[in-house]
Amino acid sequence: MNKAKALLLIADGVGDRPIKALGGKTPLEAAVKPNLDKLASESECGIMDPIAAGIRAGSDTSHLALLGYDPYKYYTGRGPFEAAGIGMDVRKGDIAFRCNFSTVDENMVITDRRAGRITSGTDQLAAAVNGMKIDGVEVIFKESVAHRGALILRAAGLSAAITDTDPHHEGFGVLTSEAIDPADAASAKTAKAINEFVHQSYKILKNHPVNKDRIAQGLNPANIILPRGGGIGPNIESFESEHGLKAACVAETGLINGVARYVGMDITVVPGATGGLDSNLMNMAKAIIEQLQTHDFILCNVKGADLGGHDNNPQAKIDTIMKLDEMVGYLMANVPAKTYIALTADHSTPCELLDHSGDPVPIVIWGDDVRVDKCERFDERSVTAGGLGRIRGIDVVNILTQLMNTQEKFGA
Ligand code: ZN
Ligand code: ZN
């Protein structure tokens, strides 16, 4: 008998509210999507609160919950997840920050928080500051896209309970980080290290050849690095050790890959998977089928619908749903025998709100022996009559592993 497998397919931000321009329909209700509706009609359906009823979820916290990890316990700030998302090795106890390359004048007043939205040379600037030691604290720095980067401070006895050096506005001076509780030695040590790092970054970068070139071209130099959003690397068990399932992630964005990397999933690079509206979802579908040959559990995130929500562009959302429809048709026809497909969203991103809301999202679970119900469409309202009722994101992996017969019994 084939071993059961599962695909958790997340249409990022696809949930919405009724939109006047669509005659009171949501983008899911307005889109023509025969495969998604076929999937729903052959599934057990319901609605899901990604974190809990009424909670506005971020993509990172929601994906943690959807993978079975309580985000209130494991989410320690954006820093560690951003750092993991760009491929940095974040360890338990590390303090990780998101960073900007910025421009300061000689009085350490910020003149450009994004250093002219620098697009090249940040790898050389990063190499110039990476690897330094500050009072026994190891400094690991890596550039990300454009003016962004991430910083890890590594030593025993550090804490993320410190204030930012980034004043978050131009025209203000760089701040001195302080321990939130001055009596806490770990926070004091971390604040001291971060202040020294910021100071050193200015000393090293102000005369760096990349910046001399930029000044010669009339561009703002990236002459300082400002960390923010610090968090401590959480003590987290891998998905495989929690569930006994070898897992891979097929995603387009660093943030989702960061969450997946955190829980020990294999990361897949898919050609043409851009994270934009032009993304090649059929290549993602083919990557999923390939990964299912060697893995028991696949997490896939398709980003496009969320972008349509943030831009108040219902048509972009509908277009993504129709591409997703083609993808799901291919997956239903090609997944190995005994594969369960759970299709849902990580949160709603209502177009008229331009951001994530706490509205629940549709979820359908498809595969051998599921209790198929009477729902025939994949949208926010049709699924509410289904057999799953209203569940939370953290329930999803349990529902899948019990269908897969891979779950241990609780009790005798
Ligand atoms: Zn999201
Ligand atoms: Zn979003």
Instruction: Quote the ligand 2 centre to 67 CA distance (angstroms).
Output: 18
Instruction: Quote the ligand 1 centre to 223 CA distance (angstroms).
Output: 33
Closest C-alpha to 110, from 192, 168, 178? 168
What's residue 1's pLDDT? 54
- List where CATH 3.40.720.10 sits in the chain: 5-75+236-403
Ligand nearest to the CA of 349: 2
Q: Are 254 and 142 in contact (CB under 8 A)?
A: no
Q: Are 363 and 303 in contact (CB under 8 A)?
A: no
Q: Are 394 and 70 in contact (CB under 8 A)?
A: yes
Q: Are 33 and 376 in contact (CB under 8 A)?
A: no
What's residue 234's pLDDT? 87
Question: To the nearest 10°, the Cα dihedral for 226, 231, 232, 235?
Answer: -140
What's residue 78's pLDDT? 86
Instruction: Quote the ligand 1 centre to 205 CA distance (angstroms).
Output: 35
Cα–Cα distance, 143 to 100 (Å, whole number): 9
Count other Cβ atoms within 10 Å, centred on residue 32: 10
Written as six digits, the tokens of 91 are 């360890």
Ligand nearest to the CA of 14: 1
Instruction: Quote the ligand 1 centre to 260 CA distance (angstroms).
Output: 14
To 5 degrees, how large is the angle CA 331–CA 333–CA 338?
85
Instruction: Quote the ligand 2 centre to 59 CA distance (angstroms).
Output: 7
**Alpha helix (H) residue ranges in 298-355:** 304-310, 314-334
Measured between alpha carbons, how far apart are the two ends of the chain, in Å?
27
Q: Over its length of 412 residues, how does the chain's per-residue pLDDT go in tens digits?
A: 568 999 999 999 999 999 999 999 999 999 999 999 999 999 999 999 999 999 999 999 999 999 999 999 999 888 998 898 888 999 999 999 999 999 999 999 999 999 999 989 999 999 999 999 999 999 999 999 889 999 999 999 999 999 999 998 999 999 999 999 999 999 999 999 999 999 999 999 999 999 999 999 999 999 999 999 899 998 899 999 999 999 999 999 888 998 999 899 999 999 999 899 999 999 999 999 999 999 999 999 999 999 999 999 999 999 999 999 999 999 999 999 999 999 999 999 999 999 999 999 999 999 999 999 999 999 999 999 999 999 999 999 999 999 999 999 999 9
Q: Are strands 297-302 and 247-250 parallel, antiparallel or unpaired?
A: parallel
Closest C-alpha to 236, from 80, 82, 398? 80
Instruction: Quote the ligand 1 centre to 342 CA distance (angstroms).
Output: 16
Instruction: Quote the ligand 1 centre to 306 CA distance (angstroms).
Output: 6
Instruction: Quote the ligand 1 centre to 5 CA distance (angstroms).
Output: 24
Helix, strand, or coil (residue 36): helix
What's residue 111's pLDDT? 96
Instruction: Quote the ligand 2 centre to 349 CA distance (angstroms).
Output: 7
Ligand nearest to the CA of 353: 2
User: Which CATH superfamily does the domain covering 5-75+236-403 fall into?
Assistant: Alkaline Phosphatase, subunit A (3.40.720.10)
Q: At what angle do helices 122-129 and 185-205 cross, to 10 degrees?
A: 130
Q: Are 346 and 64 in contact (CB under 8 A)?
A: no
Ligand nearest to the CA of 350: 2
Q: Are 69 and 62 in contact (CB under 8 A)?
A: no
Question: Which residues face 74 on adjacent strands?
Answer: none
Q: Is the dihedral of CA 291, 292, 295, 298 positive or negative?
A: positive
Ion ligand 2 neighbours (CB, 5 A) are 306
Closest C-alpha to 358, from 10, 9, 15? 15
Ligand nearest to the CA of 63: 1
Instruction: Quote the ligand 2 centre to 337 CA distance (angstroms).
Output: 34
Ligand nearest to the CA of 303: 1
Ligand nearest to the CA of 57: 1
To 5 degrees, how large is the angle CA 190–CA 191–CA 195?
115
Instruction: Quote the ligand 1 centre to 347 CA distance (angstroms).
Output: 6
Instruction: Quote the ligand 2 centre to 58 CA distance (angstroms).
Output: 7
